[in-house]
Amino acid sequence: MQPLSVSQFSVVNSLGAGRVAVAEALHESGLEPGNLVIELTESTTMYNTDANLERFQRLKALGVKLAIDDFGTGYSSLSYLHRFPIDILKIDRSFVSRLTNSDNGPELARAVITLGETLGLDTVAEGIEFEPQVAALLALGCVAGQGFLFAKAGSLEELSTSSFVARRSALWTAQAGREELSATGRFKALRALARAAGAA
């Protein structure tokens, strides 16, 4: 799914069609709203902020998830980020590449992950290509990511038969039976582990 541009988002919603289009797509596809993540660029969220706040709230009322794509490369205002009904911050690939290519590589990724934890948001790392990046992200507390290391873009049929999706499905099924997971498996799973450790 491509992120919405400022022009696309403003035009669609000025006609009052954005929420209707998403609702119709959910109805026609049979997709559970919580399984749909709409990605927004930072410039989109900061454009006409008061109007966008209302638009985002209407979309959230459908039950979908909202994510800010390439977070950290734009000009997000923390005050507005706190107001917006955002679910996920997507860590820009440039921050992920620094994890193994720079002396201060972890600092930017850590800042985004810490911000997500403070605001109760999930974080998803973009552009993961190497196993050491996975290890570094896990050490920082980010447990969700995407990139060529896992799978290249392909059709639903191709992806559904990949070994990575098979492993992910097995893990998801095993955990879902005992934990209430967030969109990325992040916070509710960790809370469950914390509760278990406290009870031990």
Q: SS3 letters for 55-117?
A: HHHHHHHCCCEEEEEEECCCCCCHHHHHHCCCCEEEECHHHHHHHHHCCCHHHHHHHHHHHHH
As a whole number, the mean pLDDT across the chain is 75
Q: Are 50 and 83 in contact, with CB atoms under 8 Å apart?
A: no
pLDDT digits (tens, 9 = 90+) for 26-51: 888 888 888 888 888 877 777 767 78
pTM: 0.71
pLDDT digits (tens, 9 = 90+) for 104-152: 778 888 888 888 888 888 899 999 988 889 888 888 888 888 888 887 7
pLDDT at 180: 53
Identify the top-confidence range among 23-32, 66-75, 125-134, 181-190. 125-134
Q: Which helix (H) or strand (E) holds 10?
A: helix 6-14
> What's 31's DSSP letter?
-
> What's 145's DSSP letter?
B
Residue 17 has pLDDT above 50, yes or no: yes
pLDDT at 33: 86
> Residues 6-26: what's their mean pLDDT?
60
pLDDT at 70: 80
Query: Which residue type is seen at 132?
Result: P
Q: Are 44 and 5 in contact, with CB atoms under 8 Å apart?
A: yes
pLDDT at 197: 57
Return the CATH class of domain 6-154.
Answer: alpha beta
Residue 199 has pLDDT above 80, yes or no: no
**Domain locations in the chain as residue ranges:** 6-154
| Of 25-29, 73-77, 155-159, 179-183, the least confident | 179-183
